[in-house]
């Protein structure tokens, strides 16, 4: 059964279906049915083959044999669920058009003159408003008032309190981990801030992560990689094919 290949590889990597479902945005039931070769429960073939390719790629498995097995055992492929809309062969009967046309003509005949008369009556000449004439009132200003007026000075502005200097908090110490692969290995790192990243590292490939505080590194093939933490050579965290979790930085 083709699904056994995916299931066995997933269990070797220590992964859960719900975890992969959330990452690939594929329903967990679809992944279970793919592993169990339950083809009759899966959606249309065009979607299912896309799910199989994504799942196999995530696990580092060749998808071609699995898709070939799926297509040869698919007795009756389901059609795609996308149905074109907006096209219909049903025609509107001619009497309906005639009734609509008659209603429009009647509305124009009865209401057209009324609207025209209403608009003509509504046009009136605006009243010409003349501004009221106000007599000019002379205002005498004594030149001595300004000079002799004893105007008290206004209250002085309150002084601003001295700014208090607050020393910035010390930044957390940064760390780095360098990984080189000698065999095909799956990796997943979880940072202290909750950020998670995972990848499949091929032989000869390298990866570097920089992080603050603590981090947790999960390795699907502990004997297939070499670690260097903060410039210190750690070596392999475990044996070949062993799934381990490493706390970073090493205490």
pLDDT tens-digit map of 55-95: 889 999 999 988 888 888 765 444 444 434 343 444 556 66
Q: Residue range 123-150: average pLDDT?
A: 44
Asked if 63 and 56 count as a contact pair (C-beta separation under 8 A), the reply is yes
CATH architecture of the region 2-72: Orthogonal Bundle (1.10)
pLDDT of residue 89: 44
Question: Which pairing describes strands 215-219 and 185-191: parallel, antiparallel, or unpaired?
Answer: antiparallel
For residue 174, the cross-strand partners are 212
Q: Report pLDDT for 187.
A: 86
Q: What is the pLDDT of residue 151?
A: 43
- Ranges of each domain in the chain: 2-72, 174-248
Cβ of 112: how many Cβ atoms within 10 Å? 10
Strands 244-248 and 174-181: unpaired
């Amino acid at each position: 059964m083709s699904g056994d290949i995916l299931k066995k590889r997933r269990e070797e990597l220590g992964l859960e279906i719900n975890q992969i479902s959330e990452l690939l945005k594929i329903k967990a039931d679809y992944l279970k049915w793919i592993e169990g070769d339950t083809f009759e429960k899966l959606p249309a073939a065009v979607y299912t083959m896309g799910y199989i390719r994504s799942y196999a790629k995530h696990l580092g498995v060749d998808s071609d044999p699995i898709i070939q097995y799926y297509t040869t055992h698919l007795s009756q492929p389901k059609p795609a669920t996308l149905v074109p809309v907006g096209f219909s062969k049903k025609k509107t009967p001619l009497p309906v058009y005639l009734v609509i046309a008659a209603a429009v003509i009647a509305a124009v005949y009865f209401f057209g003159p009324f609207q025209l008369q209403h608009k003509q009556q509504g046009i009136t000449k605006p009243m010409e408003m003349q501004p009221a004439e106000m007599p000019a009132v002379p205002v005498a200003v004594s030149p001595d008032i300004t000079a002799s007026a004893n105007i008290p000075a206004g209250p002085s502005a309150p002084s601003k309190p001295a700014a208090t200097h607050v020393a910035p908090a010390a930044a957390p110490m940064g760390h780095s981990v360098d990984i080189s692969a000698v065999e095909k290995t799956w990796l997943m790192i979880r940072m202290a801030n909750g950020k998670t990243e995972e990848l499949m590292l091929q032989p000869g490939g390298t990866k570097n992560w920089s992080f603050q505080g603590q981090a947790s590194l999960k390795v699907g093939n502990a004997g297939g990689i070499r670690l260097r933490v903060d410039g210190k050579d750690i070596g392999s965290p475990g044996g070949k094919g062993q799934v381990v979790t490493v706390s970073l930085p090493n205490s």
